[in-house]
Amino acid sequence: MFWFFGALFSLLISVSAQAAAIGVTATFKPDPGNPMRNEFINTTPFTGHCSIYPTFCEGLSIFSILVPIEFNSIGPIEAGHTDTRKGAMFKPPTEWTSLQVTHQETGEQSTLQVRIASIGGRYYLPDRVQNIIGEGAPDSNPDAHEMLWSGYNWTYPPAPCGYTGGMFVEPTWRSFFWLTPPGSSCVPTAAYRIESLRYDMFQIGYELRTPNPLEMTPGQYIGSLTYGVGPGRDFDLGDIMLPTDDSLMINFNLDVQHTLQVEIPPGGDKVQLVPAGGWQSWLQAGRKPVRLFRDQTFTISASSRFKMQLECGKALLFNCLVVDPVSGREAVVQVSVSLPNGLTDLAGQPVHRQPLRIGLGQERQVFQPGHFVHREPGILHFEMSPYYVNQIVQPGVAARYVGNIAVIWDSEV
């Protein structure tokens, strides 16, 4: 008799909101239709630019999210200013930053990386753009805004920031959303004096480098990263534009859902050990078999590490026994396993006839996927060595040897 079980883990996460904080969620769930895709899926709802242009953002693997911070000028922006810090300056934290996310139950940690890949929002002028420019201002709102900023219309930002398109323009405001390559600082220069300026609908686009989910325990991983906001800090928008909050916390929640399922075909829970070719040679010609064995197939789906354990109704050292209830004689049955491609031992080696033993060190019976393995075939090998075959197969002696052997697949490694 064999015991087996599969487990499908599914845990949900929740994000708690707080002032000057945003939440980012991502989930890993094995996909039978795409088993080679072993990565998290960002489940954070799009807000801001990417909610309007999702295809554009997906093509760049960025995600936009509104930030609950506004910026207000503390003085005028002078025409043709030469100090970049005295104007509309944007210098976000564009380099990759690492943080630890922690499993809520086990304390296990994994490394997550994030960088700010774009920045955007909406700026408000104190008057119509044509009135700020004065004589010679174009009637076209886009043209007037472009003239105000020395030829930059904020759809095409100054280098090294990148174009995203799809902006909205009105006489007193316009939206913007710029790509920010690593190390970028973007500063459009005003051609006319602007008495005051305000940014709202402030938003960032971010990129993530998530851990390898196949190496993570199922469950929820949480972590946070706090950026400073203001002059000289992580989000540095110069000395004129000051934020309503001096920090921004990003709370990360990674949800890992793993699959471990084993299926044994009907009748596979009753194993009979027989010689190669059956018993005819022994019964008809008296040729004693050298070995008794049975290869029992099964299918397995696995997306994380698992261990295999052996339990016996009766055991001798590391192996299980079968017993003749009449004579009381015993014989050892050895059990081993062969796993499909994609599953290896902890050293990364293929698993072919790996012995399963009672009390064997865990590292010898733990296996790991290189990718999600979905309903691939494996084999349990049951075999009696020639020594015991010779002992129990005797001319004129009828016997029936029985025993219970439990093979357990366990996802809790």
**HEC string for the chain:** CCCCCCEECCCCCCCCCCCCEEEEEEEECCCCCCCCCCCCEECCCCCCHHHHCHHHHHHHCCEEEECCCCEEECCCECCCCCCHHHCCCEECCCCCEEEEEEECCCCCEEEEEEEEEEEEEEEECCCCHHHHHCCCCCCCHHHHHHHHCCCCCCCCCCCCCECCCCCCECCCEEEEEEECCCCCCECCCCCCCECCCEEEEEEEEEEEECCCHHHCCCEEEEEEEEEEECCCCCEECCCCEEECCCEEEEEEEEEECCEEEEECCCCCCCCCCECCCCCHHHHHHCCCCCCEEEEEEEEEEECCCEEEEEEECCEECCEEEEECCCCCCEEEEEEEEECCCCEEECCCCECCCEEECCCCCHHHCEEEECCCEEEEEEEEEEEECHHHHHHHCCCCCCCCCECCEEEEEECCC
> Quick one: which of 260, 255, 367 has its CA closest to 7?
260
Evaluate if residue 159 carries a pLDDT over 90.
no
- CB 191 within 8 Å of CB 147: yes
**If you average pLDDT over residues 347-356, what whole number do you get?**
94
Domain boundaries, the chain: 12-257, 260-410
Alpha-carbon distances, residue 327 vs 143, 158, 271, 391 (angstroms)? 102, 92, 22, 13
Tokens 């759809």 belong to 155
Position 8 pLDDT exceeds 70 = no
CA angle, 169 then 170 then 171, to 5°: 130
Q: Which two tokens stand for residue 342?
A: 């994609």
Listed residue (125, 122, 115, 212) closest to 167, CA to CA? 122
pLDDT at site 1: 31
Residue 114: which of 95, 91, 131 has the closest Cα?
95
**Is the Cβ–Cβ distance between 342 and 371 less than 8 Å?**
yes
- 85's tokens: 């810090």
Specify the pLDDT at position 363.
54
Residue recorded with tokens 């554009």 = 56
Residue 399: predicted pLDDT: 85
Which fold is adopted by the domain 260-410? Answer: Immunoglobulin-like (2.60.40)
Q: Is the pLDDT of residue 9 over 70?
A: no
Give the integer Cα–Cα distance in Å for 36 and 187: 43
Provide the token pair at 168: 């909205």
Q: What is the mean pLDDT of the chain?
A: 89
What count of Cα atoms within 13 Å lies in the side-chain half-sphere of residue 368? 16
Whether 311 shows a pLDDT value over 50: the answer reads yes
Strand-pair category, 173-179 with 109-124 = antiparallel
Exposure of 81 by Cβ count < 10 A (0-12 exposed, 13-18 middle, 19+ buried)? middle
Tens digit of each residue's pLDDT (9 = 90 or more) over 259-268: 999 999 998 8
pLDDT of residue 19: 54
Which residue is it, tokens 């994000």? 15
pLDDT class for 335, splitting at 50, 70, 90?
Answer: very high
**Cα–Cα dist 76/241, whole Å:** 10
Q: Who's near 152: CB < 8 A, 6+ residues apart?
A: 146, 158, 188, 189
pLDDT value of residue 12: 31
- Give dist(CA 64, CA 50) in Å, integer: 5
**Predicted pLDDT at 391:** 87
Give the integer Cα–Cα distance in Å for 269 and 273: 13
The pLDDT-based confidence of 14 (bands split at 50, 70, 90) is: very low
